[in-house]
């Protein structure tokens, strides 16, 4: 837990391995819609819940698939700050198996897959 919010994190390398092994986890992108044009995880089913929408609408802004509080969820954003905040908030709301991507999509691009782009 190396973030300000004390949220549990998963490293880019670990996430990559988990995705390769087809682990049944959900990916929740909390970036804003305009950010999708700059960088994306290719070929991955990713649910979008921008932080601005979560702040405005609360739990109602979550995609239906993420509402199962026992489902494993990895939350990510650009650098890992927003995702850590959302991860901590979800834990406060009763989610049991949620992690923030340490360093965000930027770290994933640096450490795992440079083809996804950086901004």
Active-site residues: which are they?
Answer: 77
Strands (E), the chain: 9-10, 26-29, 46-48, 73-76, 98-101
- Coil, helix or strand for 111? helix
Query: Cα–Cα distance between 51 and 85 in angstroms, integer?
Result: 9
């Amino acid at each position: 837990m190396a973030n300000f919010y004390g949220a549990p994190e998963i490293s880019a390398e670990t996430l990559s391995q988990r995705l390769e092994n087809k682990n049944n986890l959900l990916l929740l992108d909390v970036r804003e819609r305009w950010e999708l044009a700059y960088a994306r995880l290719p070929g991955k089913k990713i649910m979008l819940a921008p932080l601005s929408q979560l702040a405005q609408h609360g739990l109602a802004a979550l995609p239906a698939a993420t509402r199962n509080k026992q489902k494993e969820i990895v939350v990510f954003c650009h650098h890992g700050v927003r995702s850590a905040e959302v991860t901590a908030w979800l834990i406060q709301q009763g989610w049991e198996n949620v992690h923030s991507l340490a360093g965000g999509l930027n770290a994933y691009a640096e450490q795992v897959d440079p083809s996804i782009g950086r901004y």
